[in-house]
Amino acid sequence: MRYSIYVFWLLMLSVVALHAQQRPQYTQYIFNNYLVNPAISGIENYTDIKVGYRQQWTGIKDAPKTSFVSAHWKLGDEYLWKNALSLPENTDDPMSRNYMQNYTASPAHHGMGVIAVLDEAGPISRLDASLTYAYHLQMTDQLNFSVGVAAGISRIGLDVNALEFQTGPDQVIQNAYLSQIKPDLGLGVWLYGASFFAGASVQQVLPQKLKFTSEPIYNTGKDVPHYFFTLGYRLFLDEEITALPSVMVRKVSPTPLSIDANLKIAFKDRVWVGGSYRRNDSFSALAGINVSKLLNLTYSYDFITSDLSRVSNGTHEIVLGIQLNNVYEVMSKAKMW
């Protein structure tokens, strides 16, 4: 009986998780908003690749860990000149004040990309894989608006071998579903110019029921939509130093509204440092370096402010960026907010 109660609470906790934050959270999303908004597909003139790993709540056994890879690019062979996707003819730094003053919006174009995210927490794992598409419309000489869609699949798995019992497996576990595959759909919009961006997106648009066992009492899990709203603006402190404040609001019912405030300070577009604060959760330190015109590396550490700080040492996240077909040799992308 005691073991059945244990399994019952395990499955109930899984159901609670499946009704709340189901997608992984990131600290460095502000430098790769493509993870949450498909409308960014093809915003640069080259193929933008990101590979990242996040170890959340170190010190807690079976705490969430996330691995991801993403890549997106514009469609077509023609390189767009002197606009948001490339360097100007005089090879100004894309983050320089002069470039911003002479900014020209990119002509209308298409973009696409791919995303794969593996999120693991205890015995439960989730693999999301999507293809993305975006259309970028030139609204004015200095303003673009894009609309994007992400379509793919989600695989949710349960590793029963990770569950330990004193006297063998429970009957409920023996009847458990080890994996389930569901269709997935996301939508997004993105408004951007020389020094600002604003976006809105939603993940898990399609309603899906989730269950780990044939027992009807436990089959109340379901996918819920994840809503994201973000806004940012670039300020020049002098000719070589920029400040980039931004904010993201995240809503996943029935959990409380999540609000992030971020600040990045960039020096000569070569190195940068920053900070982030997530209400009632954590504050973070971030740093990055543009190693070359091909590679950039970023790292962040989250200091937990919730009750989890009693048992956890914090959260690590590291991301490697690769810029392929970078024919204009941009040190860092113009839209690396």
Q: Quick check: 226 and 22 in contact, CB under 8 A?
A: yes
Joined together, the tokens standing for residue 80 give: 């767009």
Token pair 């070589």 in the structure block, residue: 240
Contacts of 279 (CB under 8 A, 6+ apart): 258, 259, 260
Q: Quick check: 206 and 183 in contact, CB under 8 A?
A: yes
Instruction: Look at residue 173 and give its three-state secondary structure.
Output: helix
pLDDT value at 271 more than 50: yes
User: What is d(CA 40, CA 72) in angstroms, rounded to the nearest whole number?
Assistant: 8
Q: End-to-end alpha-carbon separation of the chain, Å?
A: 54
User: What is d(CA 220, CA 211) in angstroms, rounded to the nearest whole number?
Assistant: 7
Query: CA-CA distances (angstroms) from residue 88 to 157, 253, 275?
Result: 48, 45, 31
Which of 84-88, 159-163, 264-268, 305-309 holds the top average pLDDT? 264-268
| pLDDT-based confidence at residue 294 (cuts at 50, 70, 90) | confident
Q: Check: CATH 3.55.10.10 for 2-324?
A: no
Please state whether beta strands 65-74 and 47-58 pair in parallel, antiparallel, or not at all (unpaired): antiparallel
Average confidence (pLDDT) over 303-316: 81
pLDDT at res. 194: 84
Q: Higher-confidence residue: 337 or 273? A: 273
* Beta strand spans in the chain (E): 47-58, 65-74, 109-121, 124-140, 143-158, 179-192, 196-203, 209-210, 221-222, 226-233, 235-236, 241-251, 258-267, 271-278, 282-289, 295-304, 314-324
pLDDT value at 139 more than 90: yes
pLDDT in tens, 210-226: 766 666 555 556 788 99
- DSSP class of residue 5 equals H
| pLDDT-based confidence at residue 5 (cuts at 50, 70, 90) | very low
Token pair 């604003």 in the structure block, residue: 198
Alpha helices in the chain (DSSP H): 2-19, 97-101, 171-174
- The rounded percent of the chain whose pLDDT value lies above 90 is 40
* Beta strand spans in 159-289 (E): 179-192, 196-203, 209-210, 221-222, 226-233, 235-236, 241-251, 258-267, 271-278, 282-289
| pLDDT-based confidence at residue 330 (cuts at 50, 70, 90) | low
User: What is d(CA 80, CA 89) in angstroms, rounded to the nearest whole number?
Assistant: 11
